[in-house]
Structure 1
Amino acid sequence: MQDLKDKKDLRKELYALLGKLPGRDKPISVEVVSTEEKDGVIIQKLLMDINGLERVPAYFTKPSNAGGKLPVVLFNHSHFGQYEVGKNEFVLGRKEMQSPPYAVALAREGYAGLCLDSWGFGERSGRAEIDIFKEMLWKGKVLFGMMVYDNLRALDYLVSREDIDADRIATMGMSMGSTMAWWLAALDERIKVTVDLNCLTDFHTLMEKGDLRLHGIYYYVPDLLNHFSTSKINSLISPRPHLGLAGRFDPLTPLEGLEIIDSNLKEVYANDGAPEAWKLKIYDVGHEETKEMREDILDFLRKWL
């Protein structure tokens, strides 16, 4: 089994690559803007003061008939160049994903959920992503680092809620949200279950294929490849359960790279005594969620969360 101290040190090293981040001890304040009930789901619109720079809009959801402490899924929205969508993907869905939206699907399974607008998306859109990236770089910040930071603070908020079971937290997302999910789980052991959909990309394979242009500018963390591979980051999730789903015809996740990651993580999970907790499944589709994928995701959550 990999030394736990080694993993702790690697998490610190990985976090340090994310640029100059605000402190993690800043008090969090949250305003409930509105509450509605729809399709058996209570939907709270929140404004979260979590980074000291700008308030972060988010949706918190839970089943209408919920009682006691609930398991929760920290949901990360995708990109698709559709900056106006953001967290609305969680409650309204999108054409690249199955129906119903995940806020409804998760509530039907008895889970609460939280999804926030990432930098430059949803109610935080208006400025070009490339402009945000460049300004942050000048100031020693990393756009993806600030995105990760917001989600880690959202996790801090979730564990503070009386209606949340802090021992039953999952994270998931598609595309950009997939990348966020495995970064978050690698960095924070409070996340017990990880599901990544259509963005488990081997960095080195992507570079060798000359396809770096396929991912948004947010994706690129300075100096990362001098310290970590995709497999090495994901190894920090082990032995916690992790499901990866990919499309065979998705150019964002080259098959050669998926094979490398799968082989490496099978070895890591075996060495950590949990070979059944890692699973990669490849479907004959492109960059989308199919009905079969949705069923497999919900089955995985039922088993492990």
Structure 2
Amino acid sequence: MTHPGGREPAAPIPGAPPPSGFESPAVLDGALPVFHERLKDELTFPLAWGTSPIRDFPAWREAARATVERHLLQPPDDTPFAPETADEQRAGGYRRRILLFNVTRLSRVRALMLVPDGEGPHPAVLLLHDHGSRFDIGKEKLVRPWYDRARLSSARAWADRCFGGRFVGDELARRGWAVLAVDAPGWGDRSGLTYESQQALAANLFNLGSSPAGLMAREDQRAAAFLASLPEVDTERVAALGFSMGAYRAWQTAALSDHVRAAVAASWMTGLKEMMVPGDNALRGQSAYFMLHPGLARHLDLPDVASIAAPKPLYLTGGSEDPLFTAAAVEAAYSRLRAVWRSQHAEDRLHTELRPGLGHVFAPGAQDGAFAWLDAWAGRPRRPGGPERRGPGR
């Protein structure tokens, strides 16, 4: 190959030291690119609230949401839901349903819904499951699977590991909340993934003009719209709740969906630069593809995306000993979120906490705090012809 200047490039001399300034014959430093610090320095998040030249918050929120939407790599979807009830059974204080509906133009899914006894419409929660590298169960991580013994065994083990033995959806249903849980692509009824095959799924979705994170985000938007459309549900009192990857999904859905009016996110909040450090779990790839919108970091940081939800009520909880998110990284992200809600005179609508001694779990004490906050936000269920009591932060 001839050099543009017309001369052949000099051949490397075997055994000679590298030219001055030559970085390394390797591209990786552990799991990170050897030049990762320079790439991080280039990330200035120019669209973040307070940095962006847009000073009107509603206009900023519209521009920021449009930017996230572009990076989902999934077009908006208005496919009719066409719901069917495949099964309904009574439980103590609520009804259990298996529903079928079109979550997008691409997929018809089986979902679990719990509906409290009594006259509605009821406040409702979209339950968003975690990753956990456990793919045989998804929605069953949060709603007790009464219909499948094998999944019940797996789900009980997961509830013991992450939720203090509780099924979060059943707990909420007993408190008077309607809940809906849907499998993300790769989990539960839509399983087939293994830890290693996540990379192949991501690569093939990228080649097809899509992404795992974008597909999941669009499905979560659609699930929220479906939940809000149901006659048993009060459309003004629809919340999202999730743990771990489900927490990421919860605040992301609150940012991207007008149907979600409040959110609870347990054990997933950090800044991107704080996450991209040696030893962080995200550097392993694989599961990270479900929380990665290619190119979005050139515009917005992770807390900036969550900030699109402002001034909606948002409850963030985590553990001080979580090995996946350092307390310092979480507090830095919390501080940025508090500044956004404060700028909108909505400090009382944002709750941030790190519970001492807790790891990567959504323990019963943390659940009780979150449930009480949801109850206060929603107020009492409406009564026909009667006034509605509203809790703080609505």
Counterpart residue number, 1:213: 283
**Which residues of structure 2 form unaligned runs of 5+?**
1-54, 145-154, 379-394
Aligned residue number for residue 261 of structure 2: 192
Deviates more, 1:206-215 or 1:293-302: 206-215
Q: Which residue identity is paired with 1:76?
A: L
1:101 maps to which of 167, 173, 176: 167
Query: Which digits, 9 at most, give the CA deviation of each residue in 1:156-189, with x for residues without a partner?
Result: 2122211111000100100110010011001123
TM-fit CA distance, 1:25: 2.0
Q: Shift in Å at residue 209 of structure 1?
A: 4.1
SS of residue paired to 1:29: coil
Give the direction of change, closer, same or farther, for the CA distance of 1:203–1:251 in structure 2 (3 Å limit).
farther
Q: Are 1:258 and 2:311 matched, yes or no?
A: no
Q: Does 1:246 align with 2:298?
A: no
Q: Cα deviation per residue 1:67-95 (whole Å; 9 max; x = unaligned)?
A: 12111000101111110010111212522
Larger radius of gyration: 2
SS in 2 for 1:114: strand
C-alpha separation in 1, matches of 2:135 and 2:89:
25
Map of 1:303 onto structure 2: 376
Secondary structure at the residue paired with 1:91? coil
Across the aligned residues of Structure 1 and Structure 2, the Cα RMSD in angstroms comes to 1.7
Q: Is the 8 A contact 1:199 1:246 kept in 2?
A: yes
Q: CA deviation at 1:210?
A: 4.5
**Matching of residues 103-118 of structure 1 within 5 Å:** 103-118=169-184
Q: Residue 79 of structure 1: which of 125, 131, 141 is its match?
A: 131
Q: CA offsets, 1:26-77, max 9 Å, x none? A: 22212211111223321111122121222212111111x2312111000101
SS in 1 for 2:142: helix
User: Counterparts of 1:149 and 1:98 in 2: how far apart (Å)?
Assistant: 31
Name the CA shift for 1:111/1:178 in 2 (closer, same or farther; >3 Å). same
State TM-score, norm by structure 1.
0.94
Letter in 2 for 1:294: Q
CA deviation digits over 1:97-154, x for unaligned, max 9? 1343122211121110001010000000014433322211111101111111111111
The partner residue of 2:352 within 280, 288, 293 is 280
Tell me what 1:294 maps to: 367
Residue 271 of structure 1: aligned partner: 343
Tell me which amino acid in the other structure corresponds to 1:84: D
1:43 has 2:96 as partner: yes
Amino acid at match of 1:190: H
Tell me which amino acid in the other structure corresponds to 1:56. V
What is residue 174 of structure 1 aligned with on the other side? Answer: 243
- 1:237 corresponding residue in structure 2: 309
Instruction: Tell me if structure 2 keeps the 8 A contact 1:41–1:103.
Output: no
Q: Distance in 2 between matches of 1:169 and 1:8?
A: 21
Corresponding residue of 1:89: 141
Inter-partner Cα distance in structure 1 for 2:354 and 2:202: 32
CA distance in 2, matches of 1:157, 1:271: 32
Aligned to 1:161: 230
Which stretch shows the higher mean deviation, 129-138 or 4-13? 129-138
TM score, norm. by length of structure 2: 0.74
Find the aligned partners of 1:263 and 1:88 in 2 and give their Cα distance: 34
Please list the CA deviations of residues 196-246 of structure 1 after superposition, one character each: whole Å capped at 9, or x if unmatched: 001112221010344133671322221121111122111111111111111
Matched residues in 2 for 1:275 and 1:89: separation?
A: 32
Q: CA deviation at 1:22?
A: 4.3
Per the TM alignment, residue 266 of structure 1 is displaced from its structure 2 partner at its CA by 1.4
Q: Matched residue pairs, number?
A: 303
Choose 107-116 or 124-133, whichever is displaced more.
Answer: 124-133
Q: Which residue of 1 aligns with 2:112?
A: 59
